[in-house]
Every structure is written in structure tokens, then in C-alpha cells.
Amino acid sequence: MTMLAPDARPRWKSFLEETMADEVQRIVSGQADKMELSFHQIQTFDPDFADMLLDQPTHILREGSAALKTYCIEMGAQDIEPFIRIDLLPLDSRRDLRRIGHVDVQKLISSEVSVTKVSEIKPRIHRSVFQCSCDYETEIIQHDHTELEEPLQCEGCGERKGRVKFTLMKEKCSLVDNQKIEIQEIPERVPSGAQPSTGMVILEGDLVNSVLPGTRIIANMIPQMHSERKGSRKTPLFEIFYSMVSVEAETTPFTEIIIDDEEEEKIKKLVKEYGNSNDLINLLVDSIAPSIFPTPVLRWVKRSLALQLFGGVARVSSDGTRSRGDIHILLMGDPGVAKSQLLTYMSNLSPRGKFTSGGSVSAAGLTAAAVKDGFSDGRFALEAGVLPLSDRGLAAIDEFDKISKQDTSAIHPAMEQQKIRVAKGGITATLNSRCAVLAAANPESGRFDPLSANASIMQSFKETGLETPLASRFDLIWLLQDTPEPGLDEKIARHILQNRTSGVSELQIEDKMGSEPIPDSEEIMDIGHDQKQHLTTNFLRKYVAYAKRNIHPSLDDEAKNLLVKYYIKTRNSFNRNQNNPRGSDYGISQSDKSEITEVPVTARALEALMRLTEAHARIHLRQTATVVDAEVAKAIFMHWRDEANIRDEAEFQTGMSKQKQSSLVRIIMQEISDANEGRMKMSQIIDAALIKGISDSTVRSVISRLSTTGAIYEPQTGTYEWA
């Protein structure tokens, strides 16, 4: 057993007097109630004492707070309870959460973790006062939250506990706020196939409410033990919990991915060598899931995924309004088109990537939830879902069509404003979900129906069963259909066979009979089965982290002008649809078509173009996005819009264009007229239209237009007849 340092308090006093006199004066004057120190300050003053702090943190910090209080009282302070917090611990005290064991108990350590759950605040007795039967009062400092310490003997009458009754004088006790949080090791440190390690941490005093679920922190803490219980009996097994000393919030993103100077030079050299935009983009396309055969459609998909990896720039305006920089992509496809493989690869490749399936998310779901029994005390605790835990990363969500109805409604603000608001069980909180969403959805019927010549991708979106307005939250939507093509099918089949036969038997690897095909982490390039060069996963991840950490491009005037011209041209080209051949398909007369305004793109589409432009510039490590970047963004956006056959932004909200809605309203009106001897009540028309997903306002707009043109008249209020 380690002997406690007997001279801790004198050393603290010397340190405070010689080094921290100004900080002590701030506490005495009431400007602060604590002293925040970095480990380096103590190490510089007394290296041996700093080592003692790491080895005996509970005793040393307790003596430090006592020395600080005594010093403050000497300087004239009264009724003061100052304390000390230590941060910026040396790297040799850093531990992975899964490796913390008995040798670390009662030591001061640090660990990089993410917060997954936060409890409500509970007061804890810090300084307790007990009254004996003889009215003598005994004061005891409570150092532990697990058990209330009572006096063993009364100093007044001399009787021992059991022969006299000690009463806790609650009105004379001093309390401190107490909160429990659950931490989890960060995904990058979790071995393949292993479950992330978790731990319970106690926060007290000013640390309460300092963290939210989903945030990444460096926790400076002291592992402690308490005995496991089976019923009322203690067992020889002990559970580890942690007492938080200080919290270091993340200030620089992606610090978990270490990039040295040599690797930084390799990244810059690669970008310079592949300076031509097409060459670098093509290399990235080949590097994303190289084992998946790139069909013509998949090449466009992989190109957009490359832009999603790097992302645009999130900006905050002077009025506090935030615009997201993350790019959201939805993949809709038949079974067997490699959607899940793409999502798995992207979640592994992206810094802070997380993968989940819509049908298997927990009670917290994709967003967040207030759940009971979070810490076995029956109260509510805030638990983060996938999106907050993927903050500043990428959330890959497979089976997106199977997410719960509760998450479907909550995911709208989580994707657009990138904040999740929870109000349940007395807990009101706002969590960050600043992540890109890559989702994959399947049709309810098993396979998507072939699209007709004039049908838009929204027809396929309806087949997934998702709410139609959710489509507008995605910057890009791709439809991957499994259609037979003899020449292409042969290439895909040969690629699959070669890819499968070139692997090593998993059983041989486990039996140590074969070598596991792990790429050299030091290499930049690798050769795929198609004999094409591609970037190794390790290097590509560092490339992405470096670009997102250091490159924050802004659009130059030429790039802005190109996007503005495209935006205006696209809106004007469909502003009035006199010559749009689709109108005749809906049974709308030429005069009616001139009154229907379609809006092909909105400001939301313009923002998507800007994000794609910034992402392309970031790939090339450019701090200024040029017209070249804007051209690539425009090409990808136009290609997916042409593939999707989106001609009216209203389709994202209702699944139908304005023309089709107007056509359906007229059909509904005709059916009601035939069934009611030519009369049509407004209420009947609205009720029938709502069943088909057409809004009240659209119905009134169509009726108003038909009344103006003289196609119908109103013999009595709210009732119409054809003219």
C-alpha cells in the first residue's frame, strides 16, 4: 500500500505563495470560487510533487483545497470553500477506456471519450452534521457518494455508535450538486468486432451540466471501486466508477487522427501531382469501396460520396443564423446493388463515422431520448442517438425506410438545422448533430417498379414508405436499379468472382494458417482487382481529416456568378409552362397550363450547389473555390436532377408536381359532380383531395382559377357547378 505524502499541504502552500498569488487574490475578492491549474505548472514548480499528484490524486487534491482555503482565510476571506482543478495531463497518463484496470485505481488518468448519457442533478451532502442523543454535534466530511459516513463515537458523552442514536441535521449540512454521466470509448479506438467499453462518471460542483450527450471530451478522472452486490450480500468482485477531476472540451476537431509532418507533405504532394480536377476526383472514386464494381451510375454515386466525405463549410452569420456544410445523400435501390457495402465502407472511412440500421436502433433511436433507469435510480436520463454521437462526422443509416415514426418526425430538424431538441421527463436539452447523413432505403414491395418516361424519382421514393417531405432534406438522391444488361452483367459477374476468390479463408486466419490481408498502413497507394491504383483507407482517412481541419474555402466572384446564372436560368425555364408537353398527360388545357407556376429549384437547391462547390475545393486543398469547382458541382447536381426527372420542387413536399395536383383536383371535382347531379361542395372536394395527399390551399387555388376563367360558377356559397 502506498504511503500518503505527509508534506503535501506545505508543498501546496509554497506553490500557491510563490506561483499563484494573483489567482488566490481573485478568489479572495470573490471573482472566482476555484483555481484551475495545468499539470505543467505543477511539474515546472516541483516534478516530484507532480508525480505524487498522479499517484495519489485524491489525497493531494484534498490537501491542496485545504491549503488554498487556509491561505485565503489568512488573506482576509471568510465563509469560503475554494477548490482546485487540474487539467492538461501528460500523455503518459492517457488510457483507453477498455484498458483501465486495477493498477489504475485511485490514480489520476485521462481518457478521450464520448458522452452517451447524462442524468438529472442530485444534491449530495458534502459536510454533514450529526447530533447525538446527548445533543452533542459531530461534523463529518463526506468523501464518497456511495455510502453515508456516520460517527463511530460521540465525543461529548463518549458512547459508541449503536448505544446512542445519531440524527442527521439536514438543515446544518452543506450540499454539492452531483450528476452521473455515461462515457464510451471513441469508435476509432474500438477493435474490429468488439463492443465499445463504457463507464459511469460522477460529476460534482461546477462540472455539473458541463457536457451533453454526443460530445467528445478528454476526461481527467480518478478510477474508484465499489463492491458488487447480489441482493443484500457483497461479493468479492468490484465495479469501477470514475470521479471526474476536470473536463477538456474538444476545441480542434479530428484530433483523434494523428497526422505528422511527413504525412502532411505526402497529402500536399498527392494533390499537386494529381492537380487536374478530373484526375484527383477519379482517383477518389476508385478509392471508395474499390471492391464494388463501378457501373456508370455507381461512378456518379461514388463521385458524390467523395464530395460528401470532405463536405462543405458550416458558417454562422452575424445574426447567429447557422447554415450547414454537411452534404446529405440518399441511396434508393433494389436488393443486391451494394448499398449496404457502400454505407459500411463510408462509415469506416469517414473520421467519426457511425453505421446503424433503421430497424435495429435503440430507445434513443437516431436522435435522442429521455429514458428511465439510465443509472438504476428510476429517474430520467438523457441518452444520445446515432446522429449526436456522429457529431462532426458521418452517420450511415441502412434500412432508412424502417426507422420509427417518432424518429421520422424528429429527423427533419436534425438534418437541416443539425440540432436535436429533447423535452421529456423534466429534461429539456439541445444536442448537436453536425454530421453528414448517408442513408439507404429499400422498396416495400421488394423491388422498385420501372419508371415511365415522364415519371420522377418521387414515384420510387413513395415506394419506400417514407414521408414525402423528408426527400427535401437530402442534397442528392440516387436510384440504383438492378436491370439486366448482358455486357455489363458479365463484367460485374467476373469482378465478383475474382474479388471473392482472391480473399483468404477466414477460418485459416483464425487458425493462424493464413495471413490476414491487412494493407500496409504506411502505404499511400494500393492496387485493386481491376489493376487500378487507389488510395489506401488509412491514408484517405488522414487526407479527409487534414482537409476538414485546415481547409475552409470561400467562393470567389466567378464561381458565385456561375451558380447564380444557373439558378436563375433553371427557375425561368419552367416559370410558365405553356410549352411543357407534360401538361397534356394530366388532361390540363392550354389555358389552364398558363396559370400553373412550377418552381424547378429553390434556395435550398442553391445551398446544395454551394456545399458541393466547397467540397470540391476542399478536395484540392484550395482556400478559395473557383469556377472549376462550381462547374463540377453543377454537373453532378444537373446529372442527378436529370436522372431523377425532377421538374417541380413541389414534388419534394407532396410527391406530385403542381400540374399533376391540379389535374387530380379536376378529376375529383368531376367525380363529385357526376355523383351529385352536377353539384360540388367545397368541403367534399377538400376531403377527397386530402386523402390523395393534396393540401387545402392547392384545392382552393385550383377552384379560384377555374372560377376566374369561367369554367365553374357558384350558385350558392360553398357549392359549385360546371359552366
Distance between CA 402 and CA 399 in Å, rounded? 6
State yes or no: pLDDT of 598 exceeds 70.
no
State yes or no: pLDDT of 234 exceeds 90.
no
**Cell numbers representing residue 433 in the block:** 448533430
Strands (E) across 120-164 are located at 122-131, 137-141
**pLDDT bucket at 683, cuts 50 / 70 / 90:** confident
- Most confident range (mean pLDDT) of 37-51, 64-78, 591-605, 679-693 is 37-51
The predicted structure's pLDDT at residue 605: 82
Bridging pattern class, strands 122-131 and 174-185? antiparallel
State yes or no: pLDDT of 373 exceeds 60.
no
pLDDT in tens, 61-113: 989 988 998 888 888 877 788 889 999 899 889 998 888 988 999 999 999 89
Provide, rounded to the nearest whole percent, the portion of the chain with pLDDT above 70. 83
pLDDT in tens, 331-346: 988 887 888 888 988 9
The predicted structure's pLDDT at residue 121: 84
State yes or no: pLDDT of 21 exceeds 70.
yes
Q: Evaluate whether 619 touches 307 at the Cβ level (below 8 Å).
A: yes
pLDDT in tens, 496-526: 676 666 666 666 665 655 444 555 456 787 7
State yes or no: pLDDT of 263 exceeds 80.
yes
- Most confident range (mean pLDDT) of 204-208, 306-310, 430-434, 442-446 is 306-310
Distance between CA 29 and CA 713 in Å, rounded? 82
Rg (alpha carbons) of the chain, rounded to whole number: 33
Distance between CA 676 and CA 693 in Å, rounded? 23
- Most confident range (mean pLDDT) of 312-316, 445-449, 502-506, 708-712 is 312-316
Helical spans, DSSP H, in 511-579: 537-550, 557-573
Find residue 178's DSSP bridge partners: 122, 204
**pLDDT bucket at 617, cuts 50 / 70 / 90:** very high
Closest by CA position to 549, among listed 375, 711, 313: 313
**Cell numbers representing residue 546 in the block:** 487534414
In this predicted model, which residue has the larger pLDDT, 194 or 245? Answer: 245
Question: Reduced to 3 states, what is the DSSP secondary structure of residue 368?
Answer: strand
Structural domains in the chain, CATH included, are: 8-88 (3.30.1640.10), 97-249 (2.40.50.140), 554-649 (1.10.8), 658-722 (1.10.10.10)
Q: Evaluate whether 680 touches 688 at the Cβ level (below 8 Å).
A: no
Find residue 703's DSSP bridge partners: none
State yes or no: pLDDT of 374 exceeds 70.
no
Backbone angles phi, psi at 605, to 5 degrees: -70, -35
Mean of per-residue pLDDT scores for the chain: 81
Residue entry with cell 470553500: 81
**pLDDT bucket at 411, cuts 50 / 70 / 90:** confident
Mean pLDDT calculated for residue range 2-30: 84
Closest by CA position to 637, among listed 607, 658, 657, 617: 607
State yes or no: pLDDT of 623 exceeds 90.
yes
Residue entry with cell 476526383: 281
- Most confident range (mean pLDDT) of 431-440, 674-683, 702-711 is 431-440
**pLDDT bucket at 700, cuts 50 / 70 / 90:** confident
Mean pLDDT calculated for residue range 470-498: 75
pLDDT in tens, 133-177: 888 888 888 877 777 888 888 888 888 887 888 888 888 888 888
The predicted structure's pLDDT at residue 630: 93
The predicted structure's pLDDT at residue 580: 44
